[in-house]
Amino acid sequence: MAEIIQKDGTWTFDGDTVRIVPGRDKGVGLLRQNLGEVAVPLRAVAGISYEPGRKAGRLRLRLRDGADPLLQVTGGRLGESSDPYRLTVEPDRTGVAEYFVDEVRNALLLDEVESGPADAYLLPGPAVPITVSAGDGTVAFDGDRLVLEWNWKTEDAKSSGGARSFRVADVKAVEWFPAAGLENGWLRFGLAGATAQAPAPKYDPHAVELFGFKKDPLMALVAAAVAARLPHPAAPPADAAPEPVAALAAAGAARSAEEPADHDALLRRLRELGELHQSGILTADEFAAAKQAVLRRF
């Protein structure tokens, strides 16, 4: 097992999964702290690199496009302190960082991992329930229902309608943009059936306006948790394929049924299915069906 421990965080690699635990250093942003441990399966990794520096180096993990709902919804707009896939490395740990890179790269080569875009999320996204207060409102999401409540900074035209509540099944799109310069950011939910163009975020009852304050990046976690439960952008149409994550689980079970039984691989598959079920991505029925397909191979 490869491991590197820094003030910025701890990364470990066991041959199958890169586990990332944020540190308690002042440079660790609130988003990373609240996201907590991230388990990245090797099949979601596109590459890894170490960039040495005079004062500190950087270890960077690059994920396949579309593999992580957080990266998908933030679209490269996360600040460095919020990026969970970056680790600041002290100069005296350069050798350890380079060894870590070699171990991950060797595993990618041996397992012949695809580096191209993914058509299903390979990470479950932030855990739910999740509640974040920032900008002009508070968003609560339990995995099924979203509730938006307003505060004293909310425009009267928006707050006069009271809190908004709707199911994730009614959401067709989620957008997150950080504040930049004098321009405010937003977290916006596009609902199915909406025909009129959405108003500016400050007036939109399905959007939270962000002013660039410390807690604003946390709204990206809500966006990612919702995005993880929407159809993947690269997935086939709903009438031609199962739900994205359910399809992934079914595909894994099908491969297990076709290939000779490898108990270690089957156990890994069961753990992955369990994590997807616990995080709310797989329903109880989807989890039971996929689990039975794997268990039949033992």
Question: What's the pLDDT score for residue 25?
Answer: 85
Per-residue pLDDT reduced to its tens digit, 44-53: 999 999 999 8
Q: What is the pTM of this model?
A: 0.78
Do 88 and 27 meet the contact criterion of CB atoms below 8 Å apart?
yes
In angstroms, rounded to a whole number, what is the distance separating the alpha carbons of residues 252 and 260?
13
What are 106-164's pLDDT values in tens digits?
A: 999 999 998 899 999 999 999 999 999 999 999 999 999 999 999 999 999 999 999 99
Asked if residue 273 lies in contact with residue 286, where contact means CB atoms within 8 angstroms, the answer is no
Query: β-strands 145-150, 164-167: how paired?
Result: antiparallel
pLDDT value of residue 240 = 52
Contact 97, 265 (CB under 8 A): no
Low-confidence ranges of the chain (pLDDT < 70): 237-264, 266, 277-282, 294, 296-298
- 115 neighbors 109 (Cβ within 8 angstroms): no
pLDDT at position 241 is 45
**b/e burial code for range 225-248 (CB count within 10 A of at least 16 → b):** bbbbbbebeebeeeeebbbbbbbb
* pLDDT of 238: 58
